[in-house]
């Protein structure tokens, strides 16, 4: 265990240790500005999302006079069906992934040292976090696709209906 525990026989921290401490200190000083920047980015992205969603909702309200048009209703149902199918496919993939994770969890080898046990447990934890991260990414991607497709569809229907009226 040399180098892990201090003893009177060990030398004082070297210049390399001091440089590492200084680098850590510098990194810690950068943390608050980075956190503020991330918060600002989140605020900006959420504000842009709200504006886009509000704009699409306002345009969608102008479709109300055409709400009994069979073509419009058919396209809307197709759009909603596509979203439901995509979500169902995602859920099936997630169930398979979680099933694999649970099987792996059940097959963890018996560790003969604490370090091996810690390694196995953190490996499982890392896979768990990765599964959650992938699921969140899948949902956000689907949500963004739905927004873009809905907005495009609303614009296309409005353009077609206003051409017919004019």
Domain extent listing, the chain: 16-55, 70-166
- Residue-wise pLDDT tens digits, 26-45: 887 877 787 788 888 889 99
Whole-number pLDDT of residue 90: 96
Decide: helix, strand or coil at residue 107: coil
Mean pLDDT by 10 residues, the chain (166 residues): 54 70 82 81 90 88 83 92 96 96 85 90 95 96 93 91 72
CA 5 to chain centre: 41
Decide: helix, strand or coil at residue 82: helix
Whole-number pLDDT of residue 10: 61
Whole-number pLDDT of residue 95: 96
**SS3 breakdown of the chain: % helix, strand, coil, rounded to 5?**
85, 0, 15
DSSP structural state of residue 84 = H
| Predicted structure pTM score | 0.71
Whole-number pLDDT of residue 66: 79
Report phi then psi at 3, rounded to 5: 90, -15
Whole-number pLDDT of residue 130: 97
């Amino acid at each position: 265990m040399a180098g892990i525990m201090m003893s009177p026989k060990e030398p004082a921290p070297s210049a390399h240790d001091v440089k590492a401490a200084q680098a850590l200190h510098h990194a810690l000083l950068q943390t608050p500005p980075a956190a503020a920047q991330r918060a600002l980015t989140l605020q900006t992205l959420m504000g842009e999302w709200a504006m886009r969603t509000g704009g699409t909702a306002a345009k969608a309200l102008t479709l109300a006079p055409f709400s009994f048009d069979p073509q419009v209703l058919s396209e809307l149902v197709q759009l909603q069906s596509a979203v439901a199918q995509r979500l169902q496919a995602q859920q099936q993939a997630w169930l398979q992934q979680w099933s694999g994770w649970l099987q792996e969890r059940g097959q963890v080898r018996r560790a003969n040292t604490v370090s091996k046990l810690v390694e196995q447990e953190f490996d499982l934890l890392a896979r768990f976090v990765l599964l959650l991260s992938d699921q969140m990414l899948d949902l956000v991607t689907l949500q963004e696709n739905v927004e873009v497709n809905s907005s495009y569809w609303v614009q296309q229907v409005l353009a077609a209906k206003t051409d017919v009226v004019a």
